Amino acid sequence: MAGKKKKTVFVGLSPKESKLPTGQAGGVRRKKIVFVGLSGGVDSSVSAALLQQAGYDVVGVFIRTWTPEWIECTWKDERRDAMRVAAHLRIPFLECDAEEAYKKGVADYMIDEYKRGRTPNPDVMCNREVKFGVFWRFAKSRGADYIATGHYARISKNCELQTGKDVTKDQSYFLWTLTRDDLAHTLFPVGHLKKTEVRKLAERFGLPTATKKDSQGVCFLGPLDMKDFLSHYVKPKKGTVLNEKGEVVGRHDGAIFLTLGARHGFTITKKGTEDPRYYVVAKDVKKNTITVSSRASTKETYSIILTNIRIENCNWINGEPKIGKQIKAQVRYHGEYLPCTISAIKAATATVAFKKAVLVASGQSIVLYDGDTCLGGGVVK
């Protein structure tokens, strides 16, 4: 009927239900342009579909990174799936070359840190250097107002980084290096959803990735045996395993391949009939030794060292947290939230005071939270 306004039918969620800002600029006819990082997985696919439904001018982008020659190439398969999603949604598809940035900022960084006897988090650096670095510059230079990813995290109206609704999938731990400026031009379309809801939406949108399994492992590289990966760049060197008394009780293939808390990767040769499980509590890369202990003795022997932890390269997303305020921290992805306070802040360093002894390795990220708001974090010295 002439003059009758066509009613919009939403396949997934309406813009209000999706909790996404509308893609229509207030008082301006131009749609907001958002470049979505299409990884070839279900989360980024649904992100693109939700943004399109919310009224954005969506462009799908596959971010191509570095892959060692000796690792089975899978990025071409992922790019094919990303292209299929873009074709299904009828959106433009581009490719962003982030190979150099990934090699230098993620892979080389990871290898160098392990050589120094530290335990880095490559996913944190991947987000900083690639997804919210190279990708944003690529998008901005092509007229984008926003970039979007399939991370399970949320951004408040006050530009605060918050945990994802699905606590089993929350990825805010990997995003602690982001700033308010980063968040101002970033969208996390699935952050307010549970994974089960994302899967259902993928089916309702008819996306070709609806039943695809979740990717695992290191950012862009996938499942990775770290010892095997590092052995291509560092020659294995047999060393000794010590107990807390300094006695030789076993052997290993290289201290750099092991991190604090590891329960595997070494062999105990002096065993008793009722020995507890051992895990790494210290290592000396120069001497190529590791020290192992049981959990009970570690709490007594290492409690002072592991209660007050200094972190460096700190980033505070919305200003420095209050000294002495009760907050919580994660020392590893999906680890337990541990009660703590910040006892000191000086320049880009801080001291985190835990109520109970915590086993962490230098190079690990400690991420701090006040409720469901991510305050930022730092790297263990």
* pLDDT surpasses 80 at 370: yes
All domains in the chain, ordered by first residue:
15-226 (3.40.50.620), 235-301 (2.30.30), 303-380 (2.40.30.10)
Predicted local confidence at residue 296, as pLDDT: 47
Is residue 338 within 8 A of residue 356, CB to CB? The reply is yes
What is the spatial distance between Cα 370 and Cα 328, in angstroms, rounded to a whole number?
7
Over residues 170-181, the pLDDT tens digits come to: 999 999 999 999
Segment 62-80, tens digit of pLDDT: 999 988 888 777 788 999 9
On the question of pLDDT at 301 being above 50, the answer is: no
Mean pLDDT within 87-100: 97
For the segment 111-122, the average pLDDT, to the nearest whole number, is: 92
Amino acid at 74: T
Average pLDDT, the chain: 88
How far apart CA 166 and CA 63 sit, in angstroms, is 25
DSSP string for residues in 222-291:
BS--HHHHHTTTS----EEEE-TTS-EEEEES-GGG--TT--SSEEE-S--TTPPPPEEEEEETTTTEEE
> Which residue among 219, 314, 340, 374 is the active-site one?
219
- Determine the Cα–Cα distance for residues 160 and 149; give it in Å rounded to an integer: 17
Query: What are the tens digits of pLDDT across the range 137-151?
Result: 999 999 999 999 999
pLDDT digits (tens, 9 = 90+) for 215-259: 765 676 766 778 888 888 988 899 999 988 889 999 999 999 998
Decide if 73 is catalytic.
no
374: pLDDT strictly greater than 90? yes
To the query of whether residue 219 is one of the catalytic residues in this protein, the response is yes
Question: In the prediction, which pLDDT does 20 show?
Answer: 67
pLDDT for position 35: 98
| Residue with tokens 């006897």, as numbered in its chain | 117
Between the two ends of the chain, the Cα-to-Cα distance in Å is: 70
Of 126, 314, 340, 374, which is the active-site residue?
Answer: 126
pLDDT tens-digit series, residues 325-365: 999 999 999 999 999 999 999 999 999 999 888 888 899 99
pLDDT of 2 reads: 47
pLDDT value of position 244: 85
Number of residues that this document lists for the chain: 381
User: 13-33 pLDDT, tens per residue?
Assistant: 554 555 666 665 444 467 899
pLDDT at 281: 87
pTM reported for the whole predicted model:
0.86
What average pLDDT does this structure show over 306-329? 94
pLDDT at 190 over 90: yes
Mention every residue, 6+ apart, whose C-beta is less than 8 A from residue 294.
276, 277, 278
Q: What is the pLDDT of residue 1?
A: 43
